[in-house]
Structure 1
Amino acid sequence: MDLSGKVAIVTGSGRGLGLAYAGALAAAGASVVINDVDQPVVDAAVGAVPGSVGVAAAVGSAETADRLVAAAVENFGRLDVLVTNAGILRDRVLWKMSDEDFDAVVDVHLRGTFTCARAAAIRMREQGDGGRLILISSPAGQRGNFGQTNYAAAKAGIAAMARTWAMELGRAGITVNAVVPVAATEMTKTIPAFAPVIEEAERTGQPYPAWLRRDEGFGTVSDVTGVITFLASDASSGVTGQAIGIGGDRLVLWSHPAEKDVLLADGGWTAEAVAVAWSSITPESFGIPAPGAS
């Protein structure tokens, strides 16, 4: 995939998955705007990613979004790709989650994706030759996850925004897709289902076992970068409005929410009729299964 001449912004790219995305885009030839909240982290990332510049700022506000787009235009002359990766966790069960916990996560993930995508779309429409919005979602947004009310809601919203913006920006040649990555990062170490597996691999120095890479789709950060480079490239011009999972040895197309069972009753449904009909329905599963669970 040749991204020569293309310019990308990757939010939250000072470390972890974001840094891996930025490095992969640069390796394919793109110029990259690095973003993180801490200046030393940004400086280190810029030093590690050839041909990049950095902006130290927390995403969420329109001001930060405008600064990122301005950095791309002022340093490289244009903007072709936006990867909205920035994120934080404030995990608590519902009855212990504070307003501050909820608002902080929604502000970075959901509002940050909105403001950055809006600023990027305005610039790409002005340029008139299309673009790529790559929004980072999560399995928690597809299935829910214990203790992650704020995070799951934000990530589900990101997938919904990808579908909406794919419709709105299609005529401008701007594709919009959600990526659902699964990889060993500082964030996933805090998730009980994955923490012991990551710790064991780090302690022993052994690669993740085949069952984890294939059955769970769980691997390293480098395992998830290929789909980012693909979606940033001209080869993905016909791919939009999709939620694409990646991790370990697995590439996944997530289904969009759809009606599963449809029952009809002349004149509508009473509570009693619903109760009778429900016995014939197989409910959907929910939650992220623990590693190795059937």
Structure 2
Amino acid sequence: MSLSGKVAIITGSGQGLGLAYARELARQGAAVVINDVNAETAEQAVALIKAEGGRAAAVVAPVGSTEAAKALVNGALEAFGRLDILVTNAGILRDKSLLKMTDEDFDLVINVHLRGTFTCVREAFGYFKENGIAGRIITIGSPTGQRGNFGQTNYAAAKAGIVGMVRTWALEMKKAGVTANTVVPVAATAMTKTVPYFQKAVEADERGEVMPSFFRHDLGFGTANDVAGLIAFLASDAAAGITGQVIGAGGDRLQVWTHPEAAATEYREGGWNYQDLVENFDALFGDKLQGVGEEFLPLPDELKPEPVPAH
């Protein structure tokens, strides 16, 4: 097995995508540390992995603080004697449009996603460097962090920030042989279950059926297991040369996202004053302006959600 002898921490892995990642890492031979805020959920995940022949232990902690990050690394060392892989999956949502979003809504999401990724990676990298381990850092991004999404100021900021940190870490960790990458999953979750557009896909998944090809191929939308293979690959020795990347996975689709580059460049001797811009900007850059948000293909009639009965 490709990860035999390795030890992985997966934050937010009591259920959903995180649990799928943990199960796949365990199937590939890694011992896994399950993390959740709910002790019962965490222990159920540990029991499931053990029943499947894997090795697992639980650390119950709300990700965000330095203390939680230390508890996770110490938990891996106490249970399995080492650490090789960190997957920062933990996250929460507090979706509201800008004028309705409170300070608390913003801070909670930033604390778990962004600060939690920072504190956990800092703690894991310190251990890797001190012990000469060519470890693997795998962070979890989102299409929202790449493109934006209505009602997700906090989440978009956190996910975009994670990508910025990963690019920096790829530079800082290179000498130590540690890789840092971001995975952008597009999969059926508790969140997408509530979106009517994905209704037929999620219903098929819940029945244990293969999702329609429109979702899997055309949209690149699939199950948690469709993403888990990429997590295990990036955690393996086979991915030693891959770092600083943003890689999307969903359904039948795999994508490497570009890093931001200038879409157009023009020069003017002496610089650009207000009047220059008024007179020239549209002609020079009007057709180079970038889109925002994701645009979904129209649903085929047979995949449209069932109409809600009138009361």
**Normalising by structure 2, what TM-score?**
0.90
Q: Percent identity at matched positions?
A: 55
Change (3 A) 1:244 1:199: closer
Residue in 2 that maps onto 1:216: 219
- Which residue of 58, 80, 102 maps to 1:98? 102
Match of 2:19 in 1: 19
Equivalent residue letter for 2:97 = V
Match of 1:121 among 100, 119, 125: 125
Correspondence for 2:112: 108
TM-score by length of 1: 0.95
Residue equivalent to 1:268: 271
Is the contact made by 2:137 and 2:179 (CA closer than 8 Å) also made in structure 1?
Answer: yes
Q: Does 1:241 align with 2:244?
A: yes
CA positional deviation for 1:45: 0.4
Q: Is residue 60–residue 113 contact of structure 1 (8 Å, CA) maintained in 2?
A: yes
The Cα shift of 1:196 comes to 3.1
Give the greater-gyration-radius structure (CA): 2
User: Is the 8 Å Cα contact of residues 193 and 290 (structure 1) preserved in structure 2?
Assistant: no
In the alignment, structure 1 residue 138 sits paired with structure 2 residue 142: yes
Tell me how far apart the structure 2 counterparts of residues 198 and 149 of structure 1 sit (CA, whole Å): 27
Tell me the equivalent position of 1:257.
260
Query: Which region of structure 1 is more displaced relative to structure 2, 123-132 or 202-211?
Result: 202-211
Which residue does the alignment assign to 1:63? 67
Counterpart position of 1:52: 56
Q: Which residue in 1 is equivalent to 2:158? A: 154
Q: Residue by residue, what CA displacement relative to the aligned partner does 1:243-294 show, whole Å, maximum 9, x if unpaired?
A: 000000000000001111001111111222223223332211110223538x
1:132-211 to 2 correspondences below 5 Å? 132-190=136-194, 192=195, 194-201=197-204, 206-211=209-214
**1:178/1:194 CA distance change after superposition, 3 Å:** farther
| Residue ranges of structure 2 left out of the alignment (5+ in a row) | 300-311
Find the counterpart in structure 1 of residue 294 from structure 2. Answer: 288
Q: Deviations over 1:103-128 (max 9, x none)?
A: 01000000000000000000011110
Q: Which amino acid aligns with 2:15?
A: R
Structure 1 gap segments, 5+ residues each: none
Q: Deviations over 1:36-78 (max 9, x none)?
A: 0100100100001121000111000000000000011111111
Cα RMSD after superposing both structures:
1.6
CA contact under 8 A between 1:212 and 1:291: conserved in structure 2? Answer: no
Q: CA deviation at 1:193?
A: 6.7
Match of 1:228 in 2: 231
Q: Deviations over 1:226-256 (max 9, x none)?
A: 1101000000000000000000000000000
Partner amino acid, structure 2, of 1:175: T
Question: Which amino acid counterpart does residue 24 of structure 2 have in structure 1?
Answer: A
How far apart are the structure 1 equivalents of 2:47 and 2:208? 27
- The residue type equivalent to 1:176 in the other structure is A
Residue 129 (structure 1) shift: 2.5
Instruction: Give the SS at the match of 2:120.
Output: helix
What residue is the counterpart of 1:33 in the other structure?
Answer: 33
Aligned residues: 292
Change (3 A) 1:199 1:76: closer
- CA 1:194–1:231 in 2, change beyond 3 Å: closer, same or farther? farther
Cα distance between partner residues in 1 of 2:212 and 2:248: 19
1:156 is paired with a residue whose SS is helix
- In structure 2, the residue matched to 1:5 is 5
